[in-house]
Amino acid sequence: MALILFIFVSSSLLLSGCRAQSCNTETFSENRNYALCSPLSELGATLHWTYHAANGTADVAYRVQQDANGWAAWAINPTATGMIGANALLAFHDASTSAVRVITTVINDTSYNPTIRDENLTFPVHSRAAEYAAGAYTIYATVGLPNNSTTQSTVWQAGDGFQNGLPYGHPQTIQHTTSFSSLNFLSGQAAAEGAGGAAASRLHRKNIHGVLNAVSWGLLFPLGVIIARYMRVFKSLDPAWFYLHIACQCSGYILGVAGWGLGLKLGSESKGIVYHRHRDIGITLFCLATLQVFALLLRPNKDHKYRIVWNIYHWTIGYMVIILSVVNIFKGFNILNPANKWKHAYIAVLVTLACIAAVLEIFTWAVVLNRKRKTRSDDKSHNSDTNGSNGYGVRPHQGV
């Protein structure tokens, strides 16, 4: 348990630590300088700006890491939050001139199929420019803040889809679908809070959801199955294996249900994109795991004639839970899209568990076959009449 807690705590700390980034060391071409800056909550982007109260304008610089053959965008949404209604500045490499081009467009299509074209925004854009350097796009603009308000709903993006030579479509991962926040242009402090505070806390909770579920469904449950299947072969480990199995599955269930509940909550909060498949598998998993817990209470006695039926049922559901869990964890990876090292770490854990299981499987069969042979020869030499000792009692899958 201590180890698991350690893994959990250190992972969440690492995940939150990765998010802390600084913007005030960034520099800009042509000696551009800005009064304030804020790291944005998603995509590792930053925004620098100077607000001019005299005329209600703001000079902004938006920077985001992106492949040279992709695009970057920063927008103010005067009418709503999120993408629909956003008035965007887009930067990309023009296919024909290969120079960096910047256009402005209004995303006013409610079906998420906007027509991208260079057009006037609903507020004044006094200047616009963009450049590409060191793997990042930077968009510079001077805008008249809509409604002369210092608090604006902003949206930002980076993508690599194109249609007719213009940016079109972006990845659907969490980072790309929650990259919007309210921004206070007046005060740096308020801006830091306003800039994606809610989205950042949401991402933080998604990471906790991911870690909880990977540890419970993805690690403790399979570990508990390995314990049940391979430790029982050793008579000396009876009934220790049983309590270890119960301990693994119960702590897995508690953590798993916590992670599952958090997932449902996040799902109900997420506007727009709903991850139906991930959610449905999650609900199925909860039902199956709960069934397993209740099955424990209904377990027939060891030599009851229905015990074999119960065993088959228990194993079937158990293996289904493991398979579905692994599938859903990878679906979760695709949604949350964390740094590759997390996916690789989980794959390493899975491969290790599979190797341990394979070695133990071979070892178990060797022990069992050996025992069977011994039982047979004992039967012969004693010429005993014990019908029951036909080896069935020591098959690896036999329940205890």
Ligand X SMILES: *[C@@H]1O[C@H](CO)[C@@H](O)[C@H](O)[C@H]1NC(C)=O
Binding site for ligand X (CB under 6 A): 52-57, 106, 108, 119-120, 126, 147-149
CB of 108 to ligand X, least distance (A): 4
CB of 56 to ligand X, least distance (A): 3
Tracing tokens 């949404």 back to the chain, one arrives at 77
Q: Binding site: which residues? A: 209, 245, 278, 314
Q: Taking the complex as a whole, how short is the minimal distance between the CB of residue 54 and ligand X, in angstroms?
A: 4
- Non-local (6+) Cβ contacts of 179 within 8 A are 40, 41, 42, 43, 45, 155, 156, 157, 199
We find the least distance from the C-beta atom of residue 122 to ligand X, in angstroms, to be: 8
Q: What amino acid is encoded at 279 in this protein?
A: R
| Residues listed for the chain | 400
Tell me the chain's radius of gyration from C-alpha atoms.
29
Q: Report helix, strand or coil for 356.
A: helix
Q: Which is nearer to ligand X, 143 or 223 (CB)?
A: 143
The DSSP H or E segment spanning 47 is strand 46-52
Binding-site residue ranges for heme b: 209, 245, 278, 314
Least Å distance, CB 36 to ligand X, is: 15
* Coil, helix or strand at residue 174: helix
In sequence order, which residues have a C-beta less than 8 Å from that of residue 347 and are 6 or more positions away?
none
Q: Which is nearer to ligand X, 106 or 166 (CB)?
A: 106
Among residues 117 and 304, whose Cβ is nearest to ligand X? 117
Contacts of 76 (CB under 8 A, 6+ apart): 86, 87, 123, 143, 145, 146, 152, 153, 154, 155
Identify which of residues 147 and 316 has a Cβ nearer to ligand X in the complex.
Answer: 147
Dihedral sign, Cα of residue 382, residue 383, residue 387, residue 392? positive
Nearer to ligand X by C-beta: 96 or 110? 110
Residue closer to ligand X (CB basis): 20 or 54: 54
Looking at the Cβ atoms of 53 and 355, the one nearer to ligand X is 53
Distance CA(196)–CA(201), nearest Å, equals 8
Q: How far is the CB of 170 from ligand X (least distance, A)?
A: 20
CA distances from 189 to 16, 195, 305, 398 (A): 20, 10, 71, 65
Pairing of strands 151-159, 136-144: unpaired
For the bound state, the minimum distance from the C-beta of residue 4 to ligand X, rounded and expressed in Å, comes to: 50
C-beta of 129: minimal distance to ligand X in Å? 15
Which residue is it, tokens 């599955």?
249
In the complex with ligand X, which residue's Cβ is closer, 42 or 59?
A: 59
Which one-letter DSSP state was computed for residue 393?
Answer: G
- Least Å distance, CB 7 to ligand X, is 47
d(CA 318, CA 285) in angstroms, rounded, equals: 10
Question: Any idea what DSSP says for residue 219?
Answer: I
**Residue 47: strand pairing partners:** 38, 62
Q: Which is nearer to ligand X, 123 or 315 (CB)?
A: 123
With vertex at residue 356, the alpha carbon angle to CA 354 and CA 358, rounded to the nearest 5 degrees, is 65
Bond from prior residue into 39 cis (ω within 30 degrees of 0):
no
